[in-house]
Amino acid sequence: MSALLFLVWTSARNRVVSVLRRVQSPRYAAALIVGVLYVWSFLVRPASHAGATSVLLGQPTEMLVTVLMVVMLMGSWIFGSDATALAFSPAEVSVLFPAPLTRRQLVGFKLLRAQIAVIVNALIWVFVLRRGGTALPSPLRAVGLWVLFSTLNLHRIGSALVRSSWREHHGAGARRHRWSIVVFAAIGIALLVGMFDGRQELLAAHGLGGFFTALARALSRPPAIVALYPFHLVVAPTFAHSIGEWGREILPALGVLLAHAWWVFRSDAAFEEAAIEASAERARRLEAARSRRSVAGTRPPRAATSTIELAATGRPAMAILWKNMLCLRRTAQLRVFIGPAVMAIILGASTADSGADAGEVVAACALTFAGMLLILGGRLIRNDLRHDMLHLPLLKSLPIGGHEIVLAEVASAALPMAAIQLLLFAIAFVAADVSAHAPLSAGVRLALLAGAPFALVTLNGALLTIQNGTAVLFPAWIRLGPTVSTGVETLGQNVLSMLANLIVLALALIVPMFAAWLTITMLAPYHAPALAVAMIVAAVLLGAETYGAMRFLGGAFTRAEPLQTA
């Protein structure tokens, strides 16, 4: 085990050293300063609005976190989205698997390595939650978070082992893990029963807050409350308000953690099969590149049974767009686009017989999904330079200018994303039309719909240019490839990077928004048309800013060298 400890420790240390060495470059040094200031202002700066963040530690949030935890774990049981939680790097497979190590040592190694992400994110959340205005010291909160994230990590590995054993050994695998399967199935059924019992309250709830309050009420009654009990135990220390409360709650939470550790170590019979399968899956996706876990695109590309036509002549950059569209079509990423529209319609339709205004629900859901897609879409869809920087030598040998490559890559993600958001806007428009409580006049709705294509294309383009810019300017500091880190244990880092992107977008929007305001003021007598014109003016300005950024990134791409992505 000391060799494995050595591997984890030296790998982590060398990674940090190699990241810090980059600071010798002025570009990375400037980024580090900005990053430190950002982290300081977001996490460390003395809190001035403790009340605003104290909601994070309230009872509803505790219930919400518990429910989200169960939903996430159910996802990994049902869909196996975390199968790659077991993945080893090709080097680890070829060196560690033939080495004289027991399975338990390998499982221990995997858990040990995951602790780096767990600890970093526990610390991030300690800073976020320290503004909660409670008397609990930060170190105790850190221990609570560590227990929570470690349990989640163990559970994901355990469920991946059970699923793999079941898949590999069919009936025998299922029998071997029957108690795990029965327990988790019982939990799932109990939660479904709880939600079914509280369906009237859920459907009658107004707004997101109302929905979660109704959900919390529905799950606070048997049998759901019994099913959620172990999860409550794990979550409770993080939300403790005093040292005494924490002291009472930490031991049961540690008990659940230890039970998970026992379960995972007992489930290791299928470990090699599962780990090799997961590792092969990861290696296949990234081939010679470094491999990471993925939100979307965890499945292998579908066979090339059908294609999209591409003429041999014309603008060369179109070939990049075409390539990325095929990627989108052949990976699971399409579900990200189609899912929200389908969900908006289903949610609306399901309220039709409960007396609620179905049109209003559909419109609200459609617009919410459109907004979520704008903010989160870039993390889910990565068929752009964040993926293709791994092919930097190939791209750089092609006869295309750097800015054209950047434009084509950004468009590959931005255009499909804008298309589905536009579809959601159209659904909202139609739904609001049939709703009895449409909040906006028909003219304003029409103006919004008319301006939406321009606004959506440029907003997505700008946000994705920011994200692609990070890949071009700081390839050594970010994860390249079709994947992003997932799991609650990396949520802290993900939230920080998402907020940073939104801050840059907000800065880019200052001039366009001012121009939009000016346009509306000047065209005040023509209320609805003024809105459409203002959206278009803002979109044009944001588009111009984005194009300027792309030209700059094109230059940086031309100067980028393959070693920088190493």
Cβ contact 103:268 at 8 Å: yes
Task: State which of residues 7, 376, 398, 505 lies at the interface with other proteins (CB under 8 A).
Answer: 398
Residue type, 140: L
Q: Is 290 in the site for other proteins (CB under 8 A)?
A: no
Q: Which part of the chain contacts other proteins (CB under 8 A), choosing from 66-74, 257-265, 283-291, 350-358?
A: 283-291
Residue with the two structure tokens 């079914």:
196
Q: How far is the CB of 94 from other proteins (least distance, A)?
A: 15
Instruction: Say whether residue 284 binds other proteins (CB under 8 A).
Output: yes
Q: Return the closest-CA partner of residue 380 out of 421, 413, 409, 419.
A: 413
Handedness of CA 174, 178, 181, 186 (dihedral sign): positive
By CB under 8 A, the residues from 292 to 311 that bind other proteins are 300-301, 303-305, 307, 310-311
Of residues 94 and 200, the one with the C-beta less far from other proteins = 94
Does residue 233 come out as left (phi exceeding 0), alpha (psi in the -120 to 50 range) or beta?
Answer: alpha
Residue 182: CB minimum distance to other proteins, A: 37
Q: Please report whether residue 391 would count as binding other proteins according to CB under 8 A.
A: yes
Taking the C-alpha atoms of residue 439 and residue 225, their distance in angstroms, rounded to an integer, is: 38
- State the nearest-atom distance from the C-beta of 328 to other proteins, in Å: 9
* Residue that has been written with the tokens 């338990």 in this structure: 104
Residue 559 in the binding site for other proteins (CB under 8 A): yes
Question: What gap in Å lies between CA 299 and CA 288, rounded to an integer?
Answer: 18
Q: Which of 343, 394, 434, 544 binds other proteins (CB under 8 A)?
A: 394
Is 285 an interacting residue with respect to other proteins (CB under 8 A)?
Answer: yes
**Residue list 14-43, contact with other proteins (CB under 8 A):** 24
- Count of residues interacting with other proteins (CB under 8 A): 40
Within 10 angstroms of residue 45's Cβ, the number of other Cβ atoms is 12
Which among 35-43, 66-74, 338-346, 393-401 is the span making contact with other proteins, rule CB under 8 A?
393-401
Task: Decide whether 204 or 326 has the Cβ nearer to other proteins.
Answer: 326
User: Is residue 401 close enough to count as binding other proteins by CB under 8 A?
Assistant: yes
Which residue, 121 or 383, is less far from other proteins as judged by CB?
A: 383
- Cα–Cα distance for residue pair 28/15, rounded to 1 Å: 15
Q: Which residues of 377-409 are buried (b: 16+ CB within 10 A; e: fewer)?
A: bbbbbbbbbbbbbbbbeebeeeebbbbbbbbbb
Shorter beta-carbon distance to other proteins: residue 26 or 399? 399
Binding pattern for the stretch 314-353 against other proteins, x by CB under 8 A and - elsewhere: x-x-xx--xx--xx--xx----------------------
Question: What is d(CA 109, CA 117) in angstroms, rounded to the nearest whole number?
Answer: 14
Q: Which of 193, 481, 524 is nearest to 327 (CA)?
A: 481
Residue number with CB closer to other proteins (309 or 353): 309
Residue type present at position 463: L
Binding interface with other proteins (CB under 8 A)? 24, 284-285, 287-288, 300-301, 303-305, 307, 310-314, 316, 318-319, 322-323, 326-327, 330-331, 391-394, 396-401, 558-559, 561-563
